[in-house]
Amino acid sequence: MIHHIVLWKLKETNKEENAKQIKEKLEALKGRIKELDSIYVGFNMDEAPESNFDVVLNTQFKTFDDLNIYQNHPEHVEVVQFIKSVVEQRVAIDYER
């Protein structure tokens, strides 16, 4: 199983609304991209340090090829364009378990 985890620090402008849109748009990909086995999008807790990242994406795929198909899928690419417009910083990791 391949795990693809991404963390985003959002720009301050409309941060809360942009976080909700990221969650909505990404979770809508489930069932539309067959290679995507599972997806979860969460937000940093209000009680957590402000230095933490704001949004986390946790996805799972059967193979690394499936991850590549997902990343290049036109619907995912469209969501990425929105995310890039509201994000200040991004970190990611892909690992097998």
* 3-class DSSP assignment, residue 56: strand
At 64, the amino acid letter reads F
**Domain ranges across the chain:** 2-96
> Which segments within the chain are labelled E, that is strand?
2-10, 38-43, 55-61, 87-96
Per-residue confidence (pLDDT) for residue 9, from 0 to 100? 98
Query: To 10 degrees, what angle do helices 74-86 and 64-72 make?
Result: 70
Interval 81-89 mean pLDDT: 98
Interval 88-94 mean pLDDT: 98
The percentage of the chain sitting over the pLDDT mark of 90, rounded to a whole number, equals 99
Q: Into which CATH architecture does domain 2-96 fall? A: 2-Layer Sandwich (3.30)
Tell me the pTM. Answer: 0.94
- CA dist list (Å): 90 to 5, 7, 9, 80: 11, 6, 6, 12
Per-residue confidence (pLDDT) for residue 23, from 0 to 100? 98
Per-residue confidence (pLDDT) for residue 12, from 0 to 100? 94
pLDDT tens column, 25-64: 999 999 999 999 999 999 999 999 989 999 999 999 999 9
